[in-house]
Structure 1
């Protein structure tokens, strides 16, 4: 029995000695992706752009919807006075207009969703590339993401680099926006 315990202990010591001598320290961090997107200026700008666009398109539809409601109210008043044939014809016209309004609303929503999805995808790809480059530059082995699609259930706060990444992305975005503002001015000066 003692011999088998000594043999097992010796085997474990030999196996543990065969591990590589160099064990690299892992440098890890995490980013709260939901918070990053909430605080990232470019993300806010895209959200505001599509909210404004939706409001503008919505006002046009609301005006048409108000005309439709007015016509429907007039139809109710005049239906009995003008007879059944008139009521059927106008009722069919109103029903067709109502369907057209619904189609227009659905088309508007789809258009906005498609346009914003393209910009969001581009934004997310850019952020991922930025984080990848940042991780390489700073020597991180892993940078994890938390938020809506959480891949970390717990992490110490000292490993959270969300604020740093957000600041760097915002600085990069604002400097790019400043360059865009100065570029057209230079073109106009040359004309």
Structure 2
């Protein structure tokens, strides 16, 4: 009886050892240079350009107000002596208040632009991560590592770099979505 139990335990041990466990040679890995991926991403470039244009437009408005303020400040200095100290104090306080308002307005514009562009970039990064996850599953990868700003790989052979393939597919997919949106814009005209 003891021999039978011992034999069955040994058989179970042998069977469980024969289960295939992935070895280093069987694991499929790759890495992506995340910085390069974002630099080459057409959608990211479009987002940057969009907010650059918005920033320039808002900057023009602010520069016009600042120019008007500077001309008033220059005329204030000329009129201060002629109109007296009481007028100078009142006008100086008014100019100081407007200067603060301009500064607050500038900060608010900058903050708005940063928040809006941050949301769009965060959304893009999430879509890219989801795409990489699907790409990894579809192509049978066990691991895909990221390098770049937040490096998680200290060394990798160049043969494992799939940045170019992912970048090309993402840009092709983005081009395809742009083409789908264009007819809608024309219909509205």
Give yes or no for TM over 0.5. yes
1:113 aligns with 2:111: no
Name the counterpart of 2:21: 23
Question: 1:188: Cα distance to partner?
Answer: 5.8
CA-to-aligned-CA distance 1:78-120 (integer Å, 9 cap, x gap): 1111110010011001000000000100100111011111111
Name the counterpart of 2:180: 179
Taking structure 1 as the reference length, the TM-score comes to: 0.86
**In 1, Cα distance between the equivalents of 2:27 and 2:103?**
56
The change in CA–CA distance for 1:97 and 1:188 in structure 2 (over 3 A counts) is: closer
Q: 5+ residue gaps in structure 1?
A: 1-14
What are the within-5 Å matches in structure 2 for residues 29-40 of structure 1? 29-40=30-41
Name the counterpart of 1:7: none
CA-to-aligned-CA distance 1:113-166 (integer Å, 9 cap, x gap): 111111111101100000000000000001011111111122111111111100
Name the counterpart of 2:4: none
Q: 5+ residue gaps in structure 2?
A: 1-12
Q: Which runs of 4+ in 1 moved over 2 A?
A: 17-21, 182-185
Name the counterpart of 1:147: 148
**In 2, Cα distance between the equivalents of 1:40 and 1:141?**
25
Number of matched pairs:
174
Taking structure 2 as the reference length, the TM-score comes to: 0.86
The change in CA–CA distance for 1:188 and 1:142 in structure 2 (over 3 A counts) is: same
What are the within-5 Å matches in structure 2 for residues 153-164 of structure 1? 153-164=154-165
